[in-house]
Copies of this chain bind each other. A is one copy, B any other.
Amino acid sequence: MTPVTEEPAGGGTPPRDLARLQRRLARFAAVRNWQPYHTPKNLVAALSVEASELVEIFQWLTPEESARVMDDPDTAHRVRDEVADVLAYLLQLCEVLGVDPLAALEEKIDRNERRFPPPEPS
């Protein structure tokens, strides 16, 4: 991932980071007056619907076929599109709830490191 500075000194392409995309999504919804629809309850429903649209791509594939899914350009595009939708709703949910998704994930990995100790070297 590209190193990030919030206000790039010399202009050009702005850095691509989670916080900036989260703000872009918030502005996008605000400008279109979509906030009344963006209750936490509705956003989790939308998130789960987008996750299921990812599942739909894979539902009849064998494990082996599922590993080659990016070889077909159309399917690859569809996968990226659904990944983007899941991430978009997750960030919007975090925005309305005041949750920091990266801090939440860091804590979760820390807990899982304790919960599932690595196997002993044999």
Q: Which residues of A contact B (CB under 8 A)?
A: 1-6, 15-21, 24-25, 28, 31-33, 37, 39-42, 44-49, 51-63, 66-67, 69-70, 79-81, 83-88, 90-91, 93-94, 96-99, 101-109, 112-113, 116, 118-119
30 contacts between A and B (CB under 8 A): A3-B6, A16-B103, A18-B102, A21-B105, A21-B109, A25-B109, A32-B118, A37-B60, A39-B66, A39-B67, A41-B61, A41-B63, A42-B60, A44-B57, A44-B58, A46-B60, A47-B54, A47-B86, A48-B55, A62-B63, A70-B97, A80-B104, A83-B101, A83-B105, A84-B101, A84-B104, A84-B107, A87-B90, A87-B105, A90-B90
Q: Knowing that A4-B4, A4-B17, A39-B63 are A-B contacts, what are 4 other residue pairs whose CB atoms are under 8 Å apart, sorted by A's residue number?
A: A31-B119, A40-B58, A45-B45, A45-B58
